Amino acid sequence: MATGATTTVEIDTTLFITVSGPPGCGATTLCEQLSEAMGCPYVSGGDIFRELAEDRDMSLNQLTAKADESDEIDRALDQRLQQIAEKWGTANKPFILESRLAGWLAGDRADLRIWLDAPEDVRSERIEDRIETEAEMRVREVSEAGRYESYYEINIDNRAFYDLNINTARWSKQGVFQLVRTALEEYDPDLDEGAFQTPEADL
């Protein structure tokens, strides 16, 4: 779990939010801002994946390669995230779940599903100071997409069920936060009837 970025705006809500997107999309920044504003924790699939790598004394690339060999690691990670979603989906408390599959794993338990993205060159520039290189980022994206399709028949490019789909290259970090803040403040659960139902991942 993590908290972070300084923001002075408080958001009074009990919504369960999922945030998804490829590396460098700005998900961590948004989650930190929302976590502080909503006064709630968030769980990151990336942090859990890194913990798995550390537990096994492996690099991210090594763990990704191992995940390509079998479904053990991916399924353990996704089942943990789904359990977290089940817990918070009935808690009636604000919570944020962040991972590439967060929207799928949470299903209808999530109140608001957000997808963030940006052009590849923008995302590559954003991860320059990370341990993961641009080449490694691309390898991981292709690898993950293939596994999602193979394990769960999920097409990660299908974003029809996301409530917000934001190109974070078009706004500042604060601008992205303000967009999401407005969506949260204007959220009306009574309008959910007849809305697109999220297909849940079959774990």
Give the pTM.
0.80
pLDDT of residue 3: 46
Query: What is d(CA 59, CA 113) in angstroms, rounded to the nearest whole number?
Result: 30
Split at pLDDT 50, 70, 90, the class of 151 is confident
Nearest CA to 46 out of 101, 122, 114, 5 is that of: 101
pLDDT digits (tens, 9 = 90+) for 170-201: 999 999 999 999 999 998 877 765 454 555 55
Evaluated on CA atoms 20, 50, 140, 174, the torsion sign reads positive
**Mean pLDDT calculated for residue range 58-80:** 82
How far is the C-alpha of 21 from the C-alpha of 113, rounded, in Å? 11
- Look at phi and psi of residue 181 and say left if phi exceeds 0, alpha if psi is from -120 to 50, else beta: alpha
Q: In Å, how far from its chain's centre is CA 120?
A: 18
Tell me the pLDDT band of 142, cut-offs 50, 70 and 90: low
CA atoms of 194 and 119, how far apart (whole Å): 33
What pLDDT score does 7 carry?
Answer: 47
Question: pLDDT averaged over the chain?
Answer: 82
Token representation of residue 155: 């097409």
pLDDT of residue 130: 63
Query: With 60 as the cut, is the pLDDT of residue 111 above it?
Result: yes
Which one-letter DSSP state was computed for residue 25? S
Round to whole Å and give the CA distance between 177 and 179: 5
Average pLDDT over residues 80-99: 92
Rounded to an integer, what distance in angstroms lies between the CA atom of residue 90 and that of residue 25?
29
| Nearest-angstrom CA–CA distance, 203 and 201 | 6
So what's the pLDDT on residue 78? Answer: 85
Mean pLDDT, residues 126-131: 70
Give the range among 4-13, 30-39, 108-117, 154-163 with minimum mean pLDDT.
Answer: 4-13
Structure confidence at residue 4 (pLDDT): 45
Does pLDDT of 131 surpass 60?
Answer: no
| Coil, helix or strand at residue 156 | coil
* Res. 9: pLDDT tops 80: no
Can you state the angle between helices 60-69 and 45-55, rounded to 10 degrees? Answer: 90
2 DSSP 8-state letter: B
**Rounded distance between C-alpha atoms, residue 65 and residue 139, angstroms:** 10
Q: How many helices (H) and strands (E) does the chain have?
A: 8, 5
